[in-house]
């Protein structure tokens, strides 16, 4: 079964864990890159904070089957 994950600042994503998303807490560029690398292969949907999207946008093409969304401010 495909999973859901979220990358970014934990205060902005905490509620997504209630829906079953795997939370990857990260704030700086290095932490965000590490969180991206740690995503399981079965993740099909990814929620990103704006900061996470800004940092990882250039890498999203690496997982073309991944559906992603940015949390609104």
Domain count, the chain: 1
Report residue 1's pLDDT band, with 50, 70 and 90 as the boundaries.
low
Calpha distance 3→51 (Å, rounded)? 22
* pLDDT value at residue 9: 94
pTM for the full predicted model:
0.92
CATH number at residue 25: 3.40.50.10580
Structural domain harbouring 30: 3-70
Q: What average pLDDT does range 6-11 have in this prediction?
A: 94
Residue 68 to residues 53, 57, 60, Cα–Cα distance (Å): 10, 10, 9
Q: How many CA atoms lie within 13 A of 36 on its CB side?
A: 23
Residue range 12-65, pLDDT digits in tens: 998 898 889 999 999 899 999 999 999 999 999 999 999 999 999 999 999 999
- Which segments of 1-73 are extended strands (E)? 3-8, 22-25, 43-48, 67-70
Q: Does 2 score more than 90 pLDDT?
A: no
């Amino acid at each position: 079964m495909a999973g859901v994950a979220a990358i970014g600042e934990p205060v902005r994503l905490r509620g997504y864990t209630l829906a079953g998303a795997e939370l990857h807490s990260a704030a700086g560029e290095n932490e965000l890159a590490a969180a991206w690398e740690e995503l399981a292969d079965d993740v099909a949907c990814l929620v990103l904070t704006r900061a996470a999207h800004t940092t990882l946008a250039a890498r999203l093409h690496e997982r073309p089957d991944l559906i992603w969304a940015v949390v609104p401010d």
